[in-house]
Amino acid sequence: MNPQKFYVTTAIDYVNAAPHLGHAYERTGADALARFHRQRGDDVFFLTGTDENATKNEQAAREKGVPTQAFVDELAAEFRRLCDVYQITYDRFIRTSVDEDHKKGVQEFVRRWIANGDVYRGTYEGYYCVGCEAFYDESDLVNGQCPLHPNRQIQHIKEENYFFRLSKYEKALKELYAKDPEFTVPETRRNEVLGWLDRGLKDISVSRGRSLEWGIPWPGEPGHTVYVWFDALINYVTGVGFGSDEKKFAKWWPADVHVIGLDISRFHCLYWPAMLLAAGVPVPKKVFVHGFLENKGGKLSKSSGNVWDPFAFLEEYGVDAARYLLLREAPFEKSSAISAESFATRFNADLANDLGNLVSRTTTLLEKFSDGRVPEPHEGDSERALRERAVRTLKEHDEAATKLYFADALASVFALVSEANQHFQRTQPWQLVKDESKGRELAGSLYAGIEAVRLAGYLLYPYTPNISAKICALLGVTAPDVARWQDVGKWGVLKPGDPIKTGPALFPRLEKVTA
């Protein structure tokens, strides 16, 4: 594929509580995508950050007796630390209460709505959930409460503020989805969005009038702030220069994909494209709605908490395995039940056994039977089967990763790993070495095995970057973050005579399986 610009975002998170494993999951998925595109030669911009202008932060800070800014600074730092320990390679970590270019860009965005006649003053009367910081229609409520916060009393409020003419964009949104059905993926999420669209769109309140000092001022209206959801959505354009650096903005916008969770698809798949159209800005190319991590069999309760705390989870498994387990055990495109047992089982089966054993046995076989050097290739039936598996994996992996189906992408890499292990069982180099007339077969078996290891090593880079780098170092090949894919992403790259090293186990087996 030709190198292109690629702009990926995560949702920016509310800083009202410490990060949980779901935050690590979303960022790890977006990071795998960013690394995958960089590895294929694309020019990538990866935006993440924190959503800090919620009025409830002001209330929470007041209750704690600290300044609002200090309160959000502390929580935002935890989200940034989460990114750092999970080795999330963001290009920018945007903070909506701190970054002046964001505040300026939001006001410019709103000014364009005003100029376009798309906002008006009105009285809002209806339901408001403080947990969501969102308005609900009566028809949205479940048993009279917020569908996401059934135990929290929803408020009935009446206030004067500005409304955005969402209804005006109903037709344009229908056209958008007719023209580009893949605007929202996967299909289950799109169908949900189309259902909302079919029921019709009402104008929505986009400012807050009764508060307070926290938030981005509404242009020309003292005492009003931009309602936090809208200020947050606008981060996707201000993060790459809207309203402050038009050259940068022209380079990166439209976003290639917004990666979000399923609880915020209405905002991203309906409101956001309408907001952009009203501001005269092109819509993004795609919204990918990932699933949620769900508790399997009640075993991941708060009392067994280590699995839900993303820092403890990382501590337990290490960064590579933590990233791998999240994306392999919980397919990004749907909600998945996870458990401590299934993580431990997966760790041992895939990482300690299949991959760890393959790397260690292959490098050891080369050390013993080939003087620690790459032997001459020679292709028999088993080598051909392994090469064909590798070629299939290269194609399957990239197709799945492009769609953000990371569990499928990883399954294809591990199909190659497994085929390489079977290849050694079939060819038995430890037997071939006893027969002097089988020198060519021995060399061919080892060559195919080490090529499979090399390709698996490179393919794993988006998910397990440190392990990928270690495999490349053992093989003495270019590090995965700098190798050119057209040079390394194919079969038959290792040269006979190149030295190979052996090293310690990549993933020592977990003996104690935590329950």
Binding site for Zn ion (CB under 5 A): 129, 131-132, 146, 148-149
Residue 195 CB, nearest approach to Zn ion (Å): 20
- State how far the Cα of 296 lies from the Cα of 117, in Å rounded to an integer: 50
Residue 146 CB, nearest approach to Zn ion (Å): 3
Catalytic residue status for 302: yes
Catalytic residue among 37, 83, 103, 129: 129
Residue 259 CB, nearest approach to Zn ion (Å): 22
Residue 230 CB, nearest approach to Zn ion (Å): 17
All residues at 6 or more sequence positions from 397 whose CB lies less than 8 Å from its CB, including other chains: 409, 412, 413, 459
Question: In terms of CB distance, is 112 or 149 closer to Zn ion?
Answer: 149
Q: Are the beta carbons of 110 and 93 closer than 8 angstroms?
A: no
Helices (H), 116-186: 170-179
Q: Is the dihedral of CA 52, 58, 59, 65 positive or negative?
A: positive
DSSP states along 264-322: GHHIIIIIHHHHHHHTT-PPPS-EEEE--EEESTT-S-GGGGGGTSHHHHHHHH-HHHH
Question: In terms of CB distance, is 147 or 318 closer to Zn ion?
Answer: 147
Catalytic residue status for 395: no
Catalytic residue among 37, 83, 146, 290: 146
Catalytic residue among 132, 268, 290, 423: 132
- State how far the Cα of 43 lies from the Cα of 334, in Å rounded to an integer: 28
Looking up tokens 């917020």 gives 146
- State how far the Cα of 470 lies from the Cα of 89, in Å rounded to an integer: 19
Catalytic residue status for 495: no
Q: What is the CA radius of gyration of the chain?
A: 26
Catalytic residue status for 149: yes
Q: Which residues pair with 164 in a beta bridge?
A: 119, 204
Q: How many CB atoms lie within 10 A of CB 262?
A: 14
Residue 271 CB, nearest approach to Zn ion (Å): 16
- State how far the Cα of 65 lies from the Cα of 405, in Å rounded to an integer: 45
Catalytic residue among 23, 102, 258, 423: 23
Residue 147 CB, nearest approach to Zn ion (Å): 7
SS3 content of the chain, % helix, strand, coil (to 5): 55, 15, 35
Residue 191 CB, nearest approach to Zn ion (Å): 23
Question: In terms of CB distance, is 74 or 263 closer to Zn ion?
Answer: 263
Question: In terms of CB distance, is 20 or 104 closer to Zn ion?
Answer: 20
Catalytic residue status for 37: no
Catalytic residue status for 146: yes
Catalytic residue status for 171: no
Q: Which residues pair with 257 in a beta bridge?
A: 8
Catalytic residue among 20, 104, 174, 438: 20
Question: In terms of CB distance, is 131 or 318 closer to Zn ion?
Answer: 131
Question: In terms of CB distance, is 127 or 313 closer to Zn ion?
Answer: 127
136: nearest Cα among 153, 114, 117, 113 = 153
Question: In terms of CB distance, is 146 or 366 closer to Zn ion?
Answer: 146
- Would you please indicate which residues are annotated as catalytic (active-site) residues? 20, 23, 129, 132, 146, 149, 299, 302
